[in-house]
A and B are shown apart, each in its own frame.
Chain A
Amino acid sequence: MSSLTIDRISKSFGSVQALKGVSFDAKNGEFVVIVGPSGAGKSTTLNCIAGVEYPEMGTILIDDQDVTLMQPQDRDVAMVFENYALYPQMKVRDNLAFPLRSPKYRVGEDEISKRIERVSGLLGIDVLLDRLPRQLSQGQRQRVSLGRALVRDPKVYLFDEPISHLDAKLRNAMRRELKRIRASLSQTTIYVTHDYLEALSLADRVVVLFKGEVLQFDQKEKVYNLPAAMEVGQLFGDPPMMFFDGKLDENDNFMSNDKAFSISKSGIYGDVPVGTEIVLGLRPTDVNLVSEGQGQVKGEVYSVQNQFDHQLITIKANDSMFDVVAAQDVSLSEGDKAWVSIPNEVCYYFNKETHKVIGSK
């Protein structure tokens, strides 16, 4: 077991600065997920930890040893890629054994059998050991590829979007399986994904990366409940967070720029000058449909989308569109009048210029 410290690393590719002073750490046995949209610098960060790339500035420590410029094979980390790249001519068993027979990490054949048994049982591929990769389904190949990393006993596991190319159904199933597997892994793990559900499900702590910068590094519950920036709010949630431009008046009331609605007593008075442009962030799961004349927003139903056990109702008020998650038995259709209530405690306020959260949240 090992700890990992990433301290202000930067990396450029030509004129593009991929990483701008990225810092975070993982404690002994901790599972840290790096999440962000494509182009955020997630894979570059992981590659720097693996030693496939070298940062121009900053340091990387594994167990307090500076590994920043060390060769990949000397770092004792194991990487799982999105692309499974199994050896097609080798049976599953030999694919799994391969890293353990390499000169660097060689262990005895008895130990190899033991580890293959443990890992294949864990991944539910113990009945496939004598098959060739082409005889496996996509999900099974994915498991073998995971297994090939898990048979090793490295200081740090690195996962680079291991399940993101699977279709939604299989990806969700694999995520739940990884969650179970996670419980029996004790190694420190860094896991990269663009899917916030993987981050929330698997992580102890989450690094939100955006354009080469860390926007938030926190416990996963905090990242979801107290997003530090608009981009974090937008990334974590489905349906995504809605944003409304507006201003604060001297009585601490937020008024949307299109005059569609206002929120009284926002609670952020004093944190920003009166009249500053601010952005209100709301999650569709946090606002409610209410009866006629109630709530802050009056609008017209723009569209209704079914979502299995609930509905997503979009309501248009002036230029503002409100997505509201409603129960299946709510009966509204396009063109109906609707009223929306916005509880004060679900309002997130952001600085329009910096996108950072305003106030003590």
Chain B
Amino acid sequence: MAKVEIENVHKNYGAKEDAVKGASFTCEDGELVVLLGPSGCGKTTTLRMITGLETITSGTIKVGGKVVNDLTPQQRNVAMAFETYALYPPLTVYDNIAFPLHVMKLPKAEVDNKVRKVAESLSIADILNNYPDSLAGGQKQRVSLARALVREPTVFLMDEPLSHVDADVRYRARAEIKHMQATSNATVIYVTHDQVEAVALADRVVVMDLGVIQQIGTPVELFNKPANLFVAGFIGEPPMNLVPCHLDFSEEKMHLAFKGDAQKKLSYMVNDLPSKAKEVLQKHTGKDVVVGIRPQKLKIVEASRATKSGFLPAQMVVHEFLGKNGIAQVEVDHTMLECVTPPVIPYNTGDNVGIIAPFEDLNIFDSATNQRIPY
């Protein structure tokens, strides 16, 4: 397959604002890149410009090193799988999959060979003689995928292909897509608004908002080191705890004082901080920041177990039993924080507890720019 390069691409529909404002990213040969963002962020427009269904206002799109700006969708040899399956009801599954190959006028034996191979890989070989009406949603989805795959396109483009799949078969469908991509080594660009789906599938995620790329990174990078407050709030469930604070160094400690109540502060021994972090954060002393910590990283402990660094007394508000785990809401003055916990915990509503926020799990954002302070 082929590498796709997007260089400073703009799209303007005639409005004052561009729908896509200078998008640049690369999808390597054999990589699965997901474009993720809320509706209206420009992700589908970007995908349609790669397909050729939409013209490019400015910038360059290359497929396999070749500029394709002025090529028709057919000439680009990219395959598109849409949200809807759009299978031909009068044709069997076999004929639906074979259809694009007949259009290409391939010999019958070759068509048969390719159809059976792709059907095997997507576990639909046993339903080749069925008609679309008799299939379950997940099966239709796979037939639709098979029809796109059988052409052996240079690039595979998918626009929310799983949005109609029931939640309980979505894991299976995602596993199929991942397996298909890994075994066929396909180059895939995939659009979704669902962050869970994005991180499940992607080698790298391109997060977009308001036509602008906010961050490009692996799922782990987005989770651990979000580039700005938008990504921090958008990625992760429950969402990252974000607390406006005042950053200040005094008495051998770094303090992150809650904006609502300066008495409530997370403090860390300066000597324990990594030297790079110390150097960078000292330049921000006296400034307003937003402190972010994932609910998965925030720990609840007994009130008496105060530690030197990153400890705060808190009050237990409620705890949800959720089967495999739980979520606790704790209050530090008027700030509500969420922690992912074991399914059952020994604290009840109203109990005094402590929370520990380890320094290495913090993300600190500059309030003026909303960007993460890198250290």
Task: Give chain A's interface residues, CB within 8 Å of chain B.
Answer: 168-169, 172-173, 175-176, 179-180, 182-183, 196-197, 200-201, 220-221, 224, 234, 236-240, 283, 285, 302-309, 312, 314, 321, 323, 328, 333-335
Q: Is the CB of A308 within 8 A of B223?
A: yes
- On whether A221 and B202 interact (CB within 8 A), knowing A176-B327, A176-B338, the answer reads no
Asked if residues B349 and A183 are in contact (CB atoms below 8 Å), the reply is: yes
CB of A179 within 8 A of CB of B175, answer no
Point out the residues of chain B lying under 8 angstroms from A328, CB to CB: 220
List 11 A-B pairs, Cβ < 8 Å: A175-B320, A180-B317, A283-B324, A303-B175, A303-B178, A303-B182, A305-B200, A306-B220, A308-B199, A308-B223, A334-B183
Given A234-B168, A308-B236, A334-B179, A224:B323 Cβ within 8 A = yes
Q: Which residue of B lies closest to A196 (CB)?
A: B323
Nearest A residue to B294, CB-CB: A309
With beta carbons under 8 angstroms apart, the residue of B178, B236, B320, B321 that contacts A334 is B178
Nearest B residue to A202, CB-CB = B320
Number of interface residues of B (CB under 8 A): 38
Interface check B238, CB cutoff 8 A: yes
| A221, B321: Cβ atoms closer than 8 Å | yes
With an 8 A cutoff between CB atoms, is B9 at the interface? no
Residues of A within 8 A of B183 (CB): 334-335
Answer whether A201 and B322 are a contact pair too, CB < 8 Å, given A308-B199, A314-B175. yes
* Given pairs A306-B219, A306-B220, 19 additional interface contacts (CB within 8 A): A168-B196, A172-B238, A180-B318, A180-B329, A183-B318, A200-B321, A221-B344, A240-B168, A303-B175, A305-B178, A307-B199, A308-B235, A309-B223, A312-B200, A314-B175, A321-B175, A333-B182, A334-B178, A334-B182
Beta-carbon contacts of B190-220 to A below 8 Å, as 1s and 0s? 0000101001111000000000000000011
| Interface positions of B from 325 to 375, Cβ below 8 Å from A | 327, 329, 338, 344, 349
| Chain B residue with the shortest CB-CB distance to A285 | B324
B117 at the interface (CB under 8 A from A): no
Q: Is B220 in contact with A200, judged by CB distance below 8 angstroms?
A: no
- A43 CA to B364 CA in the complex, in Å? 46
B205 (CB) vs chain A CBs: closest residue: A306
- For residue B239, CB closer than 8 A to chain A, the reply is yes
Task: Kindly identify, within residues 305 to 325 of chain B, every residue whose CB is under 8 Å from any CB belonging to chain A.
Answer: 317-318, 320-324
- Asked whether, in the complex, the Cβ of B237 is within 8 Å of the Cβ of A308, the reply is yes
Return chain B residues, CB-CB under 8 Å to A302: 175, 179
Is B296's CB within 8 Å of the partner chain A?
Answer: yes
Q: How far is the CA of A333 from the CA of B329 in the complex (A)?
A: 36
Q: How near does chain A come to B312, taking the closest CB pair, in angstroms?
A: 20
The verdict on A201 contacting B171 (CB below 8 Å), with A303-B178, A306-B202, A307-B196 known, is: no
Q: For A308, what are the chain B residues with a Cβ–Cβ distance below 8 Å?
A: 199, 219, 223, 235-237, 296
Q: Which residues of B contact A305 (CB under 8 A)?
A: 171, 174-175, 178, 200-201
Q: Mark B284-310, 1 if CB is under 8 A from A, else 0.
A: 000000000010100000000000000
Which residue from A236, A306, A312 sits with its C-beta under 8 Å from B171? A312
A323 CB contact (under 8 Å) in B168, B171, B237, B318:
B171
Q: Choose among A237, A309, A333 the residue with the greatest number of B CB atoms under 10 Å from its CB.
A: A309
Residues of B within 8 A of A335 (CB): 182-183
Q: Give the residue of B202, B235, B322 whose beta carbon is less than 8 angstroms from that of A197.
A: B322
Q: State whether B237 touches A172 (Cβ < 8 A).
A: yes
A-B pairs, top 7 by smallest CB distance, nearest first, are: A334-B182, A303-B178, A305-B200, A201-B320, A306-B219, A303-B175, A303-B179
**Separation of A308 and B240 alpha carbons in the complex (Å):** 12
Q: Given the complex, which residues of B lie within 8 Å of A200, measured CB to CB?
A: 320-323
Tell me the complex Cα distance, A267–B256, Å.
55
Chain A nearest CB from B297 CB (Å) reads 8
Partner of A201 from B178, B223, B296, B321 at Cβ < 8 Å? B321
A240 to B237, CA, bound (A): 18
Contacts of A196 in B (CB 8 A): 323
The complex places the Cα of A238 from the Cα of B199 at a distance, in Å, of: 16
The CA of A175 and the CA of B176, in the complex, are separated in Å by: 31
Closest chain-A Cβ to B8's Cβ sits at a distance in Å of 29
Of A221, A237, A305, the most chain B CB neighbours within 10 A belong to A305
Which residues does chain B contribute within 8 Å of A201, judged by CB atoms? 320-322
Q: Which residues of B contact A169 (CB under 8 A)?
A: 237, 239
Give residues of chain B (268-296) contacting chain A, Cβ–Cβ below 8 Å: 294, 296
